[in-house]
Structure 1
């Protein structure tokens, strides 16, 4: 599918003149689980299987990759149908779903959706890894040059899953959470061992971003942007090394 489109604009650069600008496409994807409506995501319409798989894992709907039995994407209908092995997602007790639940507003739709809270503790314990500052800076320079979509529009976030020396998975999206879910989903679908990997992101490191990384047992999260105070506390508790404001050879190590 198209990820950008051209729009007519007026540009001021000394003089005022009319021209075209290329902007990122915003696409609404409706996710159904076992035939039941679950949530609508606003996203960039590429790597949608990765997005859905990663989102379901990050939100605790599936706890392991093998619980995702089947996944079909109908791009024309803007619909994803996921079949999972768990049967307790849509069971109610009174007016609440069984299990530990929360209520939130779906992205951009103003609808209330219910999904399981990300549970404490990941599939595997986080193993501390040593980071070479020079290699990490070199890796981030490569990362910054990897997004053709950002170069064309300036309107997307990027995430990458890396070893100490190379980018293994790279994804773009209009949402920083979506970009992260895409790389996590791809890693899960590939059965990739992430216990010694690094996540690079262009976005702010909020507590939710840290939780998603910690849930997968990934030991390092790096951004050119800032963390929040709660993100730092959660990273300390989970054992995630948190690095922010990576610019050139400079960086802040928060945990």
Structure 2
């Protein structure tokens, strides 16, 4: 069990080259296993970073379709020493009915880390609606955010092993979330937003990871209009971004980004 105050630990490593070998110390991320129980039923085991666990639970339940908002939850109790989170929903039978309806239907996702018994029950795009184009932002502003984002994670500087997600509005960064898994980092961002009543329809999300279809689906469900990735999307992610009017950009570097869909929201000066 990792110390609550630490998400990394020091390891001695051997640094090797063709000329020499030398010993040095390196900070290595600590894996934390969190088992989430919903109405007494074990829902999922997540391999994550021991940080912002409440937001992770809340965001995961939202993006998986278990809840529509904070009002669906009666309580969340996190027992950090045991690696367990217990969620009680207002409607007691909703989750049980959902499990029974989707029994045997499982999608193995591209999430990072060892995912034990992980089952994404609602990774589909049914009952989703397209976004409007009311929110626009200057392209130069997005570039500024991307370069700020690159410098924002002290954990990445220390370990080189963390994924980050930053949420921005027209004024700048609202907050940053980090995790060993890029999907978890997104869920933490959304969990924080749900808990604090943030209007996501006027925001842009920047992520350090690549964007597969299960990632873009989280953004569509949250109704975030702009997603910018340091890496690249998949073909299905681009198709879904076009279908639901998400502005999707990737390979953000310096003064350039690759724009894959819906440039209407970016104002070029």
TM-score exceeds 0.5:
yes
1:68-83 matches, within 5 Å, as 68-83=73-88
2:167–2:203 CA contact under 8 A, matched in 1: yes
The Cα of 1:91 is off from its aligned counterpart by 3.2
1:127–1:196 CA contact under 8 A, matched in 2: no
> 2:31 corresponds to which residue?
26
Gap change, CA 1:102 and 1:28, over 3 Å in 2: same
> 2:100 corresponds to which residue?
97
1:100–1:117 CA contact under 8 A, matched in 2: no
Looking at structure 1, the residues matched to 70 and 51 of structure 2 have their Cα atoms a distance apart, in angstroms, of 21
Looking at structure 2, the residues matched to 24 and 138 of structure 1 have their Cα atoms a distance apart, in angstroms, of 29
- SS of 1:42 mapped into structure 2: strand
The Cα of 1:143 is off from its aligned counterpart by 0.9
- SS of 2:81 mapped into structure 1: coil
2:172 paired with 1:166: yes
- SS of 1:7 mapped into structure 2: strand
Query: For this pair of structures, how many residues does the alignment match?
Result: 251
> 2:9 corresponds to which residue?
5
> 2:248 corresponds to which residue?
242
> 1:38 corresponds to which residue?
43
1:136–1:164 CA contact under 8 A, matched in 2: no
The Cα of 1:240 is off from its aligned counterpart by 0.4
1:89–1:98 CA contact under 8 A, matched in 2: no
TM-score (norm 1): 0.91
**Which 10-residue stretch deviates more, 98-107 or 204-213?**
98-107
Gap change, CA 1:29 and 1:110, over 3 Å in 2: closer
- Any stretches of 5+ residues in structure 2 without a counterpart? 262-269
Looking at structure 1, the residues matched to 176 and 103 of structure 2 have their Cα atoms a distance apart, in angstroms, of 32
